[in-house]
Amino acid sequence: MSFKPDDCVTLGHGSGGRAMHELIHEFIVEKFANSQLSELEDQARIPLAQLAEYGSQLAFSTDSYVVDPLFFPGADIGKLAICGTVNDLAVGGATPLFLTCSLIIEEGLSFTVLNDVLDSMRRAALHAGVKIITGDTKVVGRGQCDKLFINTAGIGVIDPSYNLSAGHCKSGDCIIVNGFIGDHGAAVLAARGDVAIQTNVQSDCQALHDLIAEMLKVCPDIRCIRDATRGGVATVLNEFSRASSVVIEIDERSVPIRPEVQAICELLGLDPLYLANEGTLVCVAPQHAAQQLLSTMRKHPKGQHSQIIATVSDANEPIVSMRTVFGSSRIVDMLEGEQLPRIC
Amino acid sequence: MQYVDEFRNPDVARKLASEITELSSMLMQDRNRPLQIMEFCGGHTHTIFRFGLQQLLPQHIQLVHGPGCPVCVLPRGCIDVAIQLANQANVIFTTFGDAMRVPGSQQSLLQAKAAGADIRMVYSPLDALALARANPDREVIFFALGFETTMPSTALTVLEASREGIDNFSLFCHHITTVPTMTAILQDPDMRLDGFIAPGHVSMVVGDKPFEFVGAEFKKPLVITGFEPLDILQSIWMLLKQLSEGRSEVENQYTRVVSAKGNPAGLAAMSDVFEPRERSAWRGIGDIEQSGVQLTDAYKHFDAEYKFSPDHAMVEDPTACHCGDVLKGAMQPWQCPLFGNECQPKHPLGALMVSSEGACAAYYRYADINALKDKQPAQRITL
């Protein structure tokens, strides 16, 4: 299907007629070309034997992507929709294999934009080694959604030797992040244009499956991994602390934050610990394995700036605290809602 | 990061803390109660908690968190009026982000937005004016909040709107001023404060003159202070130094930003556009005379209350709420029976639980509540 630069998606493209047929068959299916998708049944079919090659447990996850703007420094909604779901699978120790792709398109979206987003999804899926094997497309009236929403669900398979869970943290464990925190949140905030900030900060959006595979190879008894998306690193640490009933103490000096991100946060009164990330993982590892794991991570291109940022200890009450640069201590709780910029 | 890291140097902090301990221990030889220092401004409260500064100080120095968080002192009735204005047909209501969660008597602005009002978060009054330009067929109302810090930008925006002849832009003006409130605190007969960490950003606008009465009339030292942890520690040291030498003066620690004259251009714009309001309501404190501003007659047509005449129903503070006592430094947040129980950041009863600059929210977020609750209640004073 060819389109001119000015062509837009109309309600007709979602009405079940020829226009929709062309959009799906000649545009979307062609982009993601693979044998399972091309069969165009109402469901994708996956031979169980193919899954069993990777392990014994199925991992299944879904996420919806509604970012504004659709394109921002370092990534776009398409890349995000692939990496986000791939990461949700990978942090459970799964090898990500198959994704679905549901598009909800606001009428009037230009075909150029849709084309760019789908291209980005194709590239990201290729990089992450996953296939998009089924999907759905809806077009809604103006104002009923904001330009483009994407949902992806994913299937992966977990090797039986891994058993990752937020409830497995133990006293003495070390907590590692794979690099600078808050880049995605800061990049999107700046790209949104509400604040006149010019910055070179790029979203960290990336699929973490290959880094995680390396990590599990050198340290199969990693307690748990989460990707620190909405709510940031602070929220993930609070989830760990509650699930395992442990105290987590962050060392402020060791938290990797880019000066640009720090500056944006200082300016707007935000805390980088709560900024969203899209390619940052938080990993809890037993103390004896932490250094080796850290050096493995640092050798990987997606983990060059890895740091041990916190330690786990026993206590009566699950709490996340921060040892500040001055040696004093404060609580780092979950946020009640969105972080709101301060007035002055 | 330049201009930040220098003011967060742990070695300098330790040195300052030890000099503070030495100086205050000397002062304590002649007294039988702790040294109480009030930081007036919510920005200072935020820094104190974020960096755990109280833990670096000896026990005989108590930091009392004052009423200088403009969002925290917004009365419920004021939020109700804001929502009334926002709910009018054809209105875009704009506000700074941290006012969104402040509870009114029925709703917060965040809830009113979810219910359908067109309420938008802006970072500057100029953003609101740009919205007015872009939407000439709609009225854009800006919720003008804050102390003297944010007043110049509001005033300059009104002047710009006037210059461009924009008639679909107005202010819901709730700017408040520092000096009348400080005076109210100082006039209280039970006032026990030994000195003030004075607001740096307010002083950047007004200069140091307006604070001279604190030393001259009330014999209390005051230091204009920046917002980095070392700024605050240095100010505490300067206050102690004044106390040990029997001085009560206005000193300026924040010389890299504050000049004695303040910001003459900002002050000129403010005096063009604003005049003192007879009285203004503060949450938890009640009415304070001449503690707020309104638009002068020349700019009255930019006043949303004048344009739309909303109802002003009297709304009392929640009766069980001790926000007022906390704001006056008469009670510690954790001594309020509602703190952490009925009143939490997810369902704040008092505004002090809303903004991260509010003393209660700061305690709730950053301090170990259970450890606090075991402490003896401090002596209460009332205003």
- Contact between B170 and B273 under an 8 Å Cβ cutoff? The reply is no
* The predicted structure's pLDDT at residue A64: 97
User: Is the pLDDT at B376 greater than 60, yes or no?
Assistant: no
- The shortest CB-CB distance from B71 to any of A195, A337, A343 is to A343
Q: How close A275 gets to chain B, by Cα (Å)? A: 16
Q: How confident is the model at residue B5 (pLDDT cuts 50, 70, 90)?
A: confident
* CA dist list (Å): B308 to A126, B130, B157, B289, B297: 58, 21, 20, 25, 16
Tell me whether A344 touches chain B (CB under 8 Å).
Answer: yes
What spatial distance separates the first Cα and last Cα of chain A, rounded to whole Å? 53
> What would the DSSP string read from start to end of B122-162?
-SSHHHHHHHHHH-TTSEEEEEEEESTTTHHHHHHHHHHHH
pLDDT per position as a tens digit, B257-293? 999 999 999 999 999 999 999 999 888 778 889 999 9
Asked if A200 reaches chain B (Cβ–Cβ under 8 Å), the answer is no
The pairing of strands A281-285 and A174-177 is antiparallel
Distance between B346 CA and the closest CA of chain A, angstroms: 5
Q: pLDDT tens, B285-310?
A: 788 899 999 999 999 999 999 999 99
CA distance A237 to chain B (A): 15
**SS3 letters for chain A?**
CCCCCCCECCHHHHCCCHHHHHHHHHHHHHHCCCHHHHCCCCCCCCCHHHHHCCCCEEEEEEEEECCCCCEECCEEHHHHHHHHHHHHHHCCCEEEEEEEEEEEEECCCEHHHHHHHHHHHHHHHHHHCCEEEEEEEEEECCCCCCCEEEEEEEEEEECCCCCCCHHHCCCCCEEEECCCCCHHHHHHHHHHCCCCCCCCCCCCCCCCHHHHHHHHHHCCCCCEEEECCCCHHHHHHHHHHHHHCCEEEEEHHHCCCCHHHHHHHHHHCCCHHHCCCCCCEEEEECHHHHHHHHHHHHHCCCCCCCEEEEEEECCCCCEEEEECCCCCEEECCCCCCCCCCCCC
Decide which of B70 and B137 is more confident: B137
Q: Is the CB of B53 less than 8 angstroms away from the CB of A326?
A: yes
Examine the pLDDT at B383 and tell me if it is beyond 60: no
Domain map (residue ranges) of chain A: 11-158, 166-331
Please report the residues numbered 255 through 294 in chain A whose beta carbons come closer than 8 angstroms to any beta carbon of chain B.
259, 262-263, 266, 268-269
pLDDT in tens, A247-283: 999 999 999 999 999 999 988 889 999 999 999 999 9
Which chain B residue's Cα is nearest to A331? B366
Q: Is the pLDDT of residue B378 over 50?
A: no
Structure confidence at residue B371 as a pLDDT band (50, 70, 90):
low
Q: What sign for the dihedral angle of Cα A246, A249, A255, A259?
A: positive
pLDDT value of position A194: 74
Q: Do domains A11-158 and A166-331 have the same CATH topology?
A: no
Provide the percentage of residues in chain B whose pLDDT is more than 90.
64
pLDDT at B369: 58
Burial class (CB in 10 A: 0-12, 13-18, 19+), A50: exposed
Q: Quick one: pLDDT band at residue B92, thresholds 50, 70, 90?
A: very high
Region at B278 (left for phi over 0; alpha for psi -120 to 50; beta for the rest): alpha
Q: Tell me whether strands A94-106 and A131-140 are parallel, antiparallel or unpaired.
A: parallel
CB A265 within 8 A of CB A271: yes
Architecture of the domain defined by A166-331? Alpha-Beta Complex (3.90)
Count of pairs with CB atoms under 8 A, one residue in A, one in B: 95
Rounded-to-integer distance, Cα B185 and Cα B65, Å: 12
pLDDT digits (tens, 9 = 90+) for B199-229: 999 999 999 999 999 999 999 999 999 999 9
On the question of pLDDT at B379 being above 50, the answer is no
pLDDT by position in tens, chain A (length 344): 677 777 899 999 988 888 898 889 888 999 998 988 888 888 999 999 999 999 999 999 999 999 999 999 999 999 999 999 999 999 999 999 999 999 999 999 999 999 999 999 999 999 999 999 999 999 999 999 999 999 999 999 999 999 999 999 999 999 999 999 999 999 998 898 777 778 899 999 999 999 999 999 999 999 999 999 999 999 999 999 999 999 999 999 999 999 999 999 988 889 999 999 999 999 999 999 999 999 999 999 999 999 999 999 997 889 999 999 999 998 898 887 777 776 65
Pick from B53, B127, B357: CB nearest A328: B53
Structure tokens at A28: 């979307």
Residue of chain B minimizing CA distance to A262? B1
CATH number belonging to the domain at B76-177+262-308, selected among 3.40.50.11740, 1.10.580.10, 3.40.50.200, 3.40.980.10: 3.40.50.11740
Which pLDDT score, from 0 to 100, does residue B380 have? Answer: 32
- Gap from A266 CA to chain B (nearest CA, Å): 9
Rounded to whole angstroms, what are the CA distances from B16 to A8, A59, B11, B29?
65, 55, 9, 20
Name which of A263, A321, A328 is nearest B51 (Cβ-Cβ).
Answer: A328
Q: Quick one: pLDDT at residue A99? A: 98
The 8-class DSSP code of residue B43 comes to H
Four-residue CA torsion sign, B159, B161, B165, B170: negative
The C-alpha atoms of residue A220 and residue B286 are separated, in whole angstroms, by 62
Whether B1 has a pLDDT exceeding 80, the answer reads no
Residue scoring higher pLDDT (A282 or B349): A282
| Domain range summary for chain B, segments of one domain joined by + | 76-177+262-308
Interface of A with B in 307-336 (CB under 8 A): 317, 319, 321, 324-331, 333, 336
For residue A342, what pLDDT is reported?
Answer: 67
A259, A330, A337: residue with CB nearest B50: A330
pTM of the model as a whole: 0.90
A331–chain B nearest CA distance, Å: 4
| Model pLDDT for residues B125-171, shown as the tens digit of each residue | 999 999 999 999 999 999 999 999 999 999 999 999 999 999 999 99
Indicate the average pLDDT of chain B: 89
Position B356 scores a pLDDT of 67
Determine how many CB atoms are found less than 10 A away from the CB of residue B293. 24
Name the one residue in this structure whose structure tokens are 């240095």: B234
Q: What is the pLDDT of residue B377?
A: 37
CB–CB of B123 and A195 under 8 A?
yes
Contact A324 B51 (CB under 8 A): yes
Residue B64 pLDDT more than 90?
no
Per-residue pLDDT, B314 = 76
pLDDT digits (tens, 9 = 90+) for B24-41: 999 999 899 899 999 999
Pick the CATH number of A11-158 from 3.30.1330.10, 3.30.460.10, 3.30.465.10, 3.90.940.20: 3.30.1330.10
Chain B residue with CA closest to A334: the answer is B365
Contact: A326, B150; criterion CB under 8 Å: no
